[in-house]
Amino acid sequence: MTVENDTSVHDNQTLGVWTDYSVEYKVVSVFLVSLICGVGIVGNVMVILVVLTTKHMRTPTNCYLVSLAAADLMVLTAAGLPNITDALHGQWVYGYAGCLGITYFQYLGINASSCSITAFTVERYIAICHPIKAQFLCTLSRAKKIIMLVWALTSVYCIMWLFLSDTKKLVYDNVVLLSCAYKVSRSHYLPIYFTDFTVFYVLPLMLATVLYGLIARILFINPLPSDPKDREQRFTRSGGKLRLVTKMLAVVVILFALLWMPYRTLVVVNSFLDKAYLDTWFLLFCRLCIYLNSAINPIIYNAMSQKFRAAFKKLCHCGHQRMEKPATYSVALTYSVIKDTSNGESPDHFTTVMDEYLTFKLNLPADQKHFHCLQTGKKKKEVIP
Protein backbone atom coordinates (compact mmCIF):
# COMPACT_ATOMS: atom_id res chain seq x y z
CA MET A 1 0.00 0.00 0.00
CA THR A 2 2.99 2.29 0.49
CA VAL A 3 6.10 3.16 -1.49
CA GLU A 4 9.48 1.64 -0.70
CA ASN A 5 12.03 4.09 0.71
CA ASP A 6 14.51 2.99 -1.95
CA THR A 7 13.03 5.64 -4.26
CA SER A 8 14.60 8.48 -2.21
CA VAL A 9 16.39 11.17 -4.22
CA HIS A 10 20.07 11.89 -3.65
CA ASP A 11 21.47 15.41 -4.17
CA ASN A 12 19.87 16.97 -7.26
CA GLN A 13 18.99 13.74 -9.01
CA THR A 14 15.44 12.97 -10.07
CA LEU A 15 13.54 9.74 -10.58
CA GLY A 16 13.29 10.25 -14.33
CA VAL A 17 10.10 10.90 -16.25
CA TRP A 18 6.86 10.01 -14.47
CA THR A 19 4.15 8.23 -16.45
CA ASP A 20 0.58 7.88 -15.24
CA TYR A 21 -1.27 4.58 -15.06
CA SER A 22 -2.84 3.44 -18.29
CA VAL A 23 -6.56 3.94 -18.87
CA GLU A 24 -7.05 0.16 -18.87
CA TYR A 25 -5.38 -0.16 -15.48
CA LYS A 26 -7.44 2.66 -13.98
CA VAL A 27 -10.73 1.20 -15.22
CA VAL A 28 -9.97 -2.37 -14.13
CA SER A 29 -8.47 -1.31 -10.80
CA VAL A 30 -11.24 1.09 -9.80
CA PHE A 31 -14.01 -1.29 -10.89
CA LEU A 32 -12.69 -4.43 -9.23
CA VAL A 33 -11.55 -2.74 -6.01
CA SER A 34 -14.87 -0.87 -5.72
CA LEU A 35 -16.87 -4.05 -6.35
CA ILE A 36 -14.94 -6.25 -3.92
CA CYS A 37 -14.70 -3.62 -1.19
CA GLY A 38 -18.36 -2.64 -1.60
CA VAL A 39 -19.58 -6.22 -1.29
CA GLY A 40 -17.18 -6.89 1.57
CA ILE A 41 -18.15 -3.82 3.58
CA VAL A 42 -21.88 -4.57 3.26
CA GLY A 43 -21.37 -8.26 4.08
CA ASN A 44 -19.21 -7.71 7.14
CA VAL A 45 -21.55 -5.04 8.50
CA MET A 46 -24.40 -7.55 8.13
CA VAL A 47 -22.42 -10.19 10.05
CA ILE A 48 -21.90 -7.78 12.94
CA LEU A 49 -25.54 -6.67 12.93
CA VAL A 50 -27.11 -10.15 12.86
CA VAL A 51 -24.93 -11.37 15.74
CA LEU A 52 -25.47 -8.29 17.89
CA THR A 53 -29.21 -8.01 17.25
CA THR A 54 -30.23 -11.71 17.18
CA LYS A 55 -30.22 -13.36 20.59
CA HIS A 56 -29.65 -16.96 19.53
CA MET A 57 -26.73 -15.90 17.30
CA ARG A 58 -24.68 -14.74 20.28
CA THR A 59 -22.45 -17.78 20.64
CA PRO A 60 -18.70 -17.95 21.40
CA THR A 61 -17.88 -18.87 17.80
CA ASN A 62 -19.96 -16.03 16.40
CA CYS A 63 -18.22 -13.59 18.73
CA TYR A 64 -14.93 -14.49 17.06
CA LEU A 65 -16.59 -14.05 13.66
CA VAL A 66 -17.70 -10.55 14.70
CA SER A 67 -14.08 -9.78 15.62
CA LEU A 68 -12.96 -11.11 12.23
CA ALA A 69 -15.65 -9.06 10.46
CA ALA A 70 -14.51 -5.88 12.25
CA ALA A 71 -10.89 -6.57 11.26
CA ASP A 72 -11.91 -7.23 7.65
CA LEU A 73 -13.87 -3.96 7.58
CA MET A 74 -10.72 -2.19 8.72
CA VAL A 75 -8.68 -3.79 5.94
CA LEU A 76 -11.26 -2.96 3.25
CA THR A 77 -11.61 0.68 4.28
CA ALA A 78 -8.00 1.46 5.23
CA ALA A 79 -6.32 -0.50 2.42
CA GLY A 80 -8.92 -0.97 -0.30
CA LEU A 81 -10.46 2.48 -0.61
CA PRO A 82 -7.11 4.39 -0.70
CA ASN A 83 -6.11 2.11 -3.58
CA ILE A 84 -8.91 3.71 -5.65
CA THR A 85 -7.60 7.23 -5.13
CA ASP A 86 -4.07 6.04 -5.89
CA ALA A 87 -5.21 4.66 -9.25
CA LEU A 88 -7.08 7.87 -10.10
CA HIS A 89 -4.58 10.48 -8.89
CA GLY A 90 -1.27 8.61 -9.01
CA GLN A 91 -0.17 10.03 -5.66
CA TRP A 92 -1.03 10.18 -1.95
CA VAL A 93 -3.94 12.56 -1.31
CA TYR A 94 -4.61 12.07 2.42
CA GLY A 95 -1.75 14.09 3.88
CA TYR A 96 0.62 13.33 6.75
CA ALA A 97 -2.05 12.42 9.34
CA GLY A 98 -3.78 10.19 6.79
CA CYS A 99 -0.50 8.42 6.03
CA LEU A 100 0.09 7.55 9.67
CA GLY A 101 -3.51 6.67 10.50
CA ILE A 102 -4.27 4.61 7.40
CA THR A 103 -1.00 2.67 7.64
CA TYR A 104 -1.71 1.95 11.31
CA PHE A 105 -5.24 0.70 10.66
CA GLN A 106 -4.09 -1.40 7.69
CA TYR A 107 -1.73 -3.41 9.86
CA LEU A 108 -4.12 -3.46 12.81
CA GLY A 109 -6.87 -4.97 10.64
CA ILE A 110 -4.52 -7.50 9.08
CA ASN A 111 -3.04 -8.64 12.41
CA ALA A 112 -6.38 -8.67 14.25
CA SER A 113 -7.96 -10.81 11.53
CA SER A 114 -5.12 -13.34 11.80
CA CYS A 115 -5.47 -13.48 15.60
CA SER A 116 -9.26 -13.84 15.36
CA ILE A 117 -8.85 -16.79 13.01
CA THR A 118 -6.37 -18.37 15.42
CA ALA A 119 -8.78 -17.84 18.32
CA PHE A 120 -11.75 -19.57 16.72
CA THR A 121 -9.48 -22.37 15.47
CA VAL A 122 -8.46 -23.13 19.06
CA GLU A 123 -12.11 -22.83 20.12
CA ARG A 124 -13.16 -25.37 17.47
CA TYR A 125 -10.44 -27.77 18.60
CA ILE A 126 -11.60 -27.62 22.23
CA ALA A 127 -15.27 -27.94 21.25
CA ILE A 128 -14.70 -31.05 19.11
CA CYS A 129 -11.80 -32.81 20.81
CA HIS A 130 -12.51 -31.88 24.44
CA PRO A 131 -16.31 -31.44 24.71
CA ILE A 132 -16.33 -31.71 28.51
CA LYS A 133 -13.78 -28.95 28.94
CA ALA A 134 -15.60 -26.91 26.32
CA GLN A 135 -18.49 -26.35 28.72
CA PHE A 136 -16.13 -24.34 30.92
CA LEU A 137 -13.63 -22.96 28.39
CA CYS A 138 -15.79 -22.14 25.35
CA THR A 139 -18.17 -19.71 26.99
CA LEU A 140 -19.52 -16.40 25.78
CA SER A 141 -17.88 -14.37 28.53
CA ARG A 142 -14.49 -16.00 27.94
CA ALA A 143 -14.77 -15.38 24.18
CA LYS A 144 -15.42 -11.68 24.81
CA LYS A 145 -12.38 -11.44 27.10
CA ILE A 146 -10.15 -13.17 24.54
CA ILE A 147 -11.36 -10.82 21.79
CA MET A 148 -10.68 -7.77 23.95
CA LEU A 149 -7.19 -9.12 24.68
CA VAL A 150 -6.53 -9.74 20.97
CA TRP A 151 -7.47 -6.21 19.98
CA ALA A 152 -5.58 -4.67 22.89
CA LEU A 153 -2.34 -6.52 22.07
CA THR A 154 -2.52 -5.91 18.31
CA SER A 155 -3.37 -2.23 18.88
CA VAL A 156 -0.27 -1.78 21.02
CA TYR A 157 1.92 -3.82 18.66
CA CYS A 158 0.90 -1.75 15.62
CA ILE A 159 1.78 1.57 17.29
CA MET A 160 5.27 1.21 15.83
CA TRP A 161 3.86 1.99 12.38
CA LEU A 162 3.04 5.50 13.58
CA PHE A 163 6.80 6.04 13.92
CA LEU A 164 7.83 4.12 10.80
CA SER A 165 5.58 5.90 8.29
CA ASP A 166 5.89 9.36 6.78
CA THR A 167 4.99 11.36 3.69
CA LYS A 168 7.70 12.27 1.22
CA LYS A 169 8.05 14.04 -2.10
CA LEU A 170 9.05 12.10 -5.19
CA VAL A 171 10.81 14.42 -7.64
CA TYR A 172 10.49 13.48 -11.30
CA ASP A 173 11.61 15.37 -14.38
CA ASN A 174 8.06 16.42 -15.19
CA VAL A 175 6.22 16.42 -11.84
CA VAL A 176 6.62 16.26 -8.05
CA LEU A 177 4.36 13.72 -6.32
CA LEU A 178 3.54 13.10 -2.68
CA SER A 179 3.78 9.54 -1.38
CA CYS A 180 3.21 7.68 1.86
CA ALA A 181 6.42 5.78 2.52
CA TYR A 182 8.45 4.09 5.21
CA LYS A 183 10.97 6.16 7.15
CA VAL A 184 13.47 3.35 7.44
CA SER A 185 15.37 1.81 4.57
CA ARG A 186 14.47 -1.50 3.04
CA SER A 187 17.25 -3.32 4.91
CA HIS A 188 15.95 -2.05 8.26
CA TYR A 189 12.36 -2.87 7.40
CA LEU A 190 13.00 -6.54 6.56
CA PRO A 191 13.34 -7.75 10.20
CA ILE A 192 10.06 -6.03 11.04
CA TYR A 193 8.32 -7.58 8.06
CA PHE A 194 9.62 -11.10 8.74
CA THR A 195 8.44 -10.79 12.34
CA ASP A 196 4.97 -9.93 11.03
CA PHE A 197 5.18 -12.69 8.44
CA THR A 198 6.10 -15.32 11.05
CA VAL A 199 3.80 -14.26 13.90
CA PHE A 200 0.69 -13.39 11.90
CA TYR A 201 0.86 -15.80 8.95
CA VAL A 202 3.20 -18.76 9.32
CA LEU A 203 2.54 -19.65 12.97
CA PRO A 204 -1.29 -19.30 12.72
CA LEU A 205 -1.35 -21.54 9.66
CA MET A 206 0.92 -24.13 11.26
CA LEU A 207 -1.27 -24.17 14.37
CA ALA A 208 -4.43 -24.39 12.25
CA THR A 209 -2.98 -27.30 10.25
CA VAL A 210 -2.21 -29.26 13.42
CA LEU A 211 -5.50 -28.52 15.17
CA TYR A 212 -7.72 -29.19 12.17
CA GLY A 213 -5.78 -32.39 11.61
CA LEU A 214 -6.69 -33.49 15.14
CA ILE A 215 -10.29 -32.40 14.57
CA ALA A 216 -10.45 -34.40 11.33
CA ARG A 217 -9.16 -37.45 13.19
CA ILE A 218 -11.95 -37.19 15.78
CA LEU A 219 -14.60 -36.73 13.11
CA PHE A 220 -13.22 -39.68 11.14
CA ILE A 221 -13.30 -41.93 14.21
CA ASN A 222 -16.90 -40.92 14.95
CA PRO A 223 -18.67 -40.72 11.58
CA LEU A 224 -22.40 -40.16 11.25
CA PRO A 225 -24.48 -43.34 10.68
CA SER A 226 -25.37 -44.28 7.11
CA ASP A 227 -29.05 -44.80 7.95
CA PRO A 228 -30.92 -41.48 7.44
CA LYS A 229 -33.04 -41.87 10.59
CA ASP A 230 -30.08 -42.76 12.79
CA ARG A 231 -28.06 -40.00 11.14
CA GLU A 232 -30.75 -37.44 11.95
CA GLN A 233 -30.95 -38.47 15.60
CA ARG A 234 -27.19 -38.52 16.03
CA PHE A 235 -26.81 -35.24 14.17
CA THR A 236 -29.03 -33.63 16.76
CA ARG A 237 -27.79 -35.41 19.87
CA SER A 238 -24.05 -35.79 19.31
CA GLY A 239 -23.21 -32.32 18.05
CA GLY A 240 -23.59 -32.82 14.31
CA LYS A 241 -24.08 -29.10 13.92
CA LEU A 242 -20.57 -28.63 15.29
CA ARG A 243 -19.31 -30.52 12.25
CA LEU A 244 -20.96 -28.07 9.87
CA VAL A 245 -19.62 -25.09 11.77
CA THR A 246 -16.15 -26.63 11.84
CA LYS A 247 -16.20 -27.22 8.08
CA MET A 248 -17.25 -23.61 7.50
CA LEU A 249 -14.45 -22.25 9.67
CA ALA A 250 -11.93 -24.58 8.02
CA VAL A 251 -12.88 -23.07 4.65
CA VAL A 252 -12.27 -19.59 6.11
CA VAL A 253 -8.77 -20.64 7.23
CA ILE A 254 -7.93 -22.25 3.87
CA LEU A 255 -8.99 -19.16 1.94
CA PHE A 256 -6.98 -16.98 4.32
CA ALA A 257 -3.88 -19.05 3.52
CA LEU A 258 -4.45 -19.08 -0.26
CA LEU A 259 -5.50 -15.46 -0.79
CA TRP A 260 -2.67 -14.02 1.28
CA MET A 261 -0.07 -16.29 -0.35
CA PRO A 262 0.60 -14.17 -3.52
CA TYR A 263 1.40 -11.00 -1.54
CA ARG A 264 3.37 -12.81 1.15
CA THR A 265 5.35 -14.72 -1.47
CA LEU A 266 6.05 -11.53 -3.44
CA VAL A 267 7.51 -9.75 -0.41
CA VAL A 268 9.62 -12.75 0.57
CA VAL A 269 11.04 -13.03 -2.97
CA ASN A 270 11.68 -9.29 -3.20
CA SER A 271 13.57 -9.47 0.07
CA PHE A 272 16.32 -11.46 -1.68
CA LEU A 273 16.37 -9.51 -4.96
CA ASP A 274 18.62 -6.54 -5.65
CA LYS A 275 15.82 -4.86 -7.57
CA ALA A 276 12.32 -5.59 -6.31
CA TYR A 277 9.75 -7.02 -8.72
CA LEU A 278 6.96 -4.42 -8.76
CA ASP A 279 4.93 -5.13 -11.88
CA THR A 280 1.83 -2.94 -11.71
CA TRP A 281 -0.66 -5.61 -12.77
CA PHE A 282 0.78 -8.28 -10.49
CA LEU A 283 0.70 -5.87 -7.55
CA LEU A 284 -2.97 -5.22 -8.36
CA PHE A 285 -3.60 -8.98 -8.39
CA CYS A 286 -1.95 -9.38 -4.97
CA ARG A 287 -3.99 -6.53 -3.53
CA LEU A 288 -7.24 -7.85 -4.97
CA CYS A 289 -6.56 -11.21 -3.33
CA ILE A 290 -6.16 -9.47 0.04
CA TYR A 291 -9.39 -7.50 -0.42
CA LEU A 292 -11.18 -10.64 -1.56
CA ASN A 293 -10.07 -12.47 1.57
CA SER A 294 -11.69 -9.75 3.69
CA ALA A 295 -14.86 -9.69 1.57
CA ILE A 296 -15.60 -13.36 1.01
CA ASN A 297 -16.21 -14.55 4.58
CA PRO A 298 -19.85 -13.33 4.82
CA ILE A 299 -20.54 -15.16 1.54
CA ILE A 300 -19.13 -18.35 3.06
CA TYR A 301 -21.33 -17.96 6.13
CA ASN A 302 -24.40 -17.49 3.95
CA ALA A 303 -23.57 -20.52 1.81
CA MET A 304 -22.63 -22.95 4.59
CA SER A 305 -24.65 -21.87 7.65
CA GLN A 306 -28.44 -22.15 7.74
CA LYS A 307 -28.58 -19.90 10.83
CA PHE A 308 -26.59 -17.13 9.17
CA ARG A 309 -28.57 -17.49 5.94
CA ALA A 310 -31.87 -17.14 7.79
CA ALA A 311 -30.55 -14.20 9.84
CA PHE A 312 -29.30 -12.43 6.70
CA LYS A 313 -32.68 -12.86 5.03
CA LYS A 314 -34.48 -11.54 8.08
CA LEU A 315 -32.14 -8.55 8.27
CA CYS A 316 -32.66 -7.73 4.60
CA HIS A 317 -36.44 -8.33 4.80
CA CYS A 318 -36.15 -10.61 1.79
CA GLY A 319 -37.85 -13.96 2.11
CA HIS A 320 -40.03 -15.24 4.92
CA GLN A 321 -39.76 -13.77 8.39
CA ARG A 322 -39.82 -17.24 9.89
CA MET A 323 -36.75 -19.36 10.34
CA GLU A 324 -36.08 -22.03 7.75
CA LYS A 325 -37.51 -25.43 8.59
CA PRO A 326 -35.08 -27.36 10.82
CA ALA A 327 -34.73 -31.10 11.08
CA THR A 328 -37.49 -32.86 13.04
CA TYR A 329 -36.47 -33.72 16.59
CA SER A 330 -38.05 -34.50 19.90
CA VAL A 331 -39.24 -31.61 22.03
CA ALA A 332 -38.55 -33.80 25.04
CA LEU A 333 -34.76 -33.47 24.69
CA THR A 334 -33.47 -32.55 28.11
CA TYR A 335 -31.45 -29.42 28.73
CA SER A 336 -28.37 -31.46 29.54
CA VAL A 337 -28.38 -32.98 26.06
CA ILE A 338 -28.91 -29.62 24.42
CA LYS A 339 -26.13 -28.14 26.48
CA ASP A 340 -23.70 -30.81 25.31
CA THR A 341 -24.26 -29.75 21.71
CA SER A 342 -24.72 -26.02 22.17
CA ASN A 343 -21.07 -25.22 22.87
CA GLY A 344 -21.61 -23.11 25.93
CA GLU A 345 -24.78 -21.34 24.81
CA SER A 346 -27.18 -20.15 27.47
CA PRO A 347 -30.57 -21.72 28.31
CA ASP A 348 -32.14 -18.70 26.64
CA HIS A 349 -30.71 -19.96 23.38
CA PHE A 350 -32.57 -23.27 23.77
CA THR A 351 -35.82 -21.43 24.52
CA THR A 352 -35.38 -19.20 21.49
CA VAL A 353 -34.69 -22.13 19.18
CA MET A 354 -37.71 -24.05 20.48
CA ASP A 355 -39.96 -21.01 20.09
CA GLU A 356 -38.87 -20.58 16.49
CA TYR A 357 -39.32 -24.30 15.86
CA LEU A 358 -42.85 -24.43 17.28
CA THR A 359 -43.87 -21.26 15.48
CA PHE A 360 -42.77 -22.69 12.13
CA LYS A 361 -43.66 -26.35 12.67
CA LEU A 362 -47.01 -26.02 14.39
CA ASN A 363 -48.00 -22.44 13.54
CA LEU A 364 -48.88 -21.92 17.22
CA PRO A 365 -49.70 -18.45 18.55
CA ALA A 366 -46.97 -16.82 20.60
CA ASP A 367 -48.85 -17.23 23.90
CA GLN A 368 -49.18 -21.04 23.42
CA LYS A 369 -45.62 -21.92 22.48
CA HIS A 370 -44.17 -22.34 25.97
CA PHE A 371 -47.30 -24.15 27.22
CA HIS A 372 -47.16 -26.66 24.37
CA CYS A 373 -43.42 -27.23 24.88
CA LEU A 374 -43.90 -27.89 28.59
CA GLN A 375 -46.92 -30.10 27.98
CA THR A 376 -45.23 -32.31 25.38
CA GLY A 377 -41.98 -32.27 27.32
CA LYS A 378 -43.58 -34.41 30.02
CA LYS A 379 -43.82 -37.28 27.55
CA LYS A 380 -40.23 -38.12 26.79
CA LYS A 381 -41.06 -40.44 23.91
CA GLU A 382 -43.44 -38.10 22.17
CA VAL A 383 -42.15 -36.60 18.96
CA ILE A 384 -43.86 -33.72 17.16
CA PRO A 385 -45.10 -35.00 13.80
Question: Domains in the chain, please, with CATH?
Answer: 5-316 (1.20.1070.10), 322-385 (no CATH)
Q: Residue 264 and residue 200: Cα distance in Å, rounded?
A: 11
Instruction: Say what the pLDDT of residue 378 is.
Output: 42
Instruction: Say what the pLDDT of residue 50 is.
Output: 93
Whole-angstrom CA distances from 255 to 9, 70, 250, 290, 350 are 40, 18, 9, 10, 32
The residue type found at 108 is L
Instruction: Say what the pLDDT of residue 10 is.
Output: 45
| Residue 234 CA to its chain's centroid (Å) | 30
Instruction: Say what the pLDDT of residue 184 is.
Output: 77
Instruction: Say what the pLDDT of residue 227 is.
Output: 52
Instruction: Say what the pLDDT of residue 4 is.
Output: 40
Instruction: Identify the CA nearest to 249 among candidates 62, 52, 47.
Output: 62
Instruction: Say what the pLDDT of residue 192 is.
Output: 86
Cite the DSSP H helix spans in 130-239: 131-137, 140-157, 161-164, 186-197, 203-221, 228-237
Whole-angstrom CA distances from 140 to 38, 66, 353 are 31, 13, 17
Instruction: Say what the pLDDT of residue 382 is.
Output: 38
Q: Would you tell me how many other CB atoms lie within 10 Å of the CB of residue 273?
A: 8
Instruction: Say what the pLDDT of residue 249 is.
Output: 93
Instruction: Say what the pLDDT of residue 240 is.
Output: 63
User: What does the CA dihedral 373, 374, 378, 381 come to, rounded to 10 degrees?
Assistant: 10
Q: Which residues in the chain show pLDDT less than 70? A: 1-14, 223-240, 318-385
Instruction: Say what the pLDDT of residue 229 is.
Output: 53
Scored b (16 or more CB within 10 A) or e, 33-46 reads: beebbebbbebbeb
Instruction: Say what the pLDDT of residue 248 is.
Output: 93
Instruction: Say what the pLDDT of residue 13 is.
Output: 57
Instruction: Say what the pLDDT of residue 263 is.
Output: 93
Q: Taking the CA atoms of the chain, what radius of gyration do you get in angstroms? A: 25
Instruction: Say what the pLDDT of residue 250 is.
Output: 93
Instruction: Say what the pLDDT of residue 328 is.
Output: 43
Tens digit of each residue's pLDDT (9 = 90 or more) over 157-185: 999 999 999 998 888 888 888 999 888 77
Instruction: Say what the pLDDT of residue 366 is.
Output: 44
Instruction: Identify the CA nearest to 16 among candidates 175, 177, 172.
Output: 172
Is residue 365 a contact partner of residue 355, using CB atoms and an 8 Å limit? no
Rounded to two decimals, the pTM is: 0.77
Instruction: Say what the pLDDT of residue 225 is.
Output: 55
- CB-based burial of residue 111 (10 Å sphere; 0-12 exposed, 13-18 middle, 19+ buried)? buried
Q: Residue 311 and residue 55: Cα distance in Å, rounded?
A: 11
Is residue 88 a contact partner of residue 382, using CB atoms and an 8 Å limit? no
Q: In what helix (H) or strand (E) does residue 178 lie, and over which residues does it extend?
A: strand 176-182
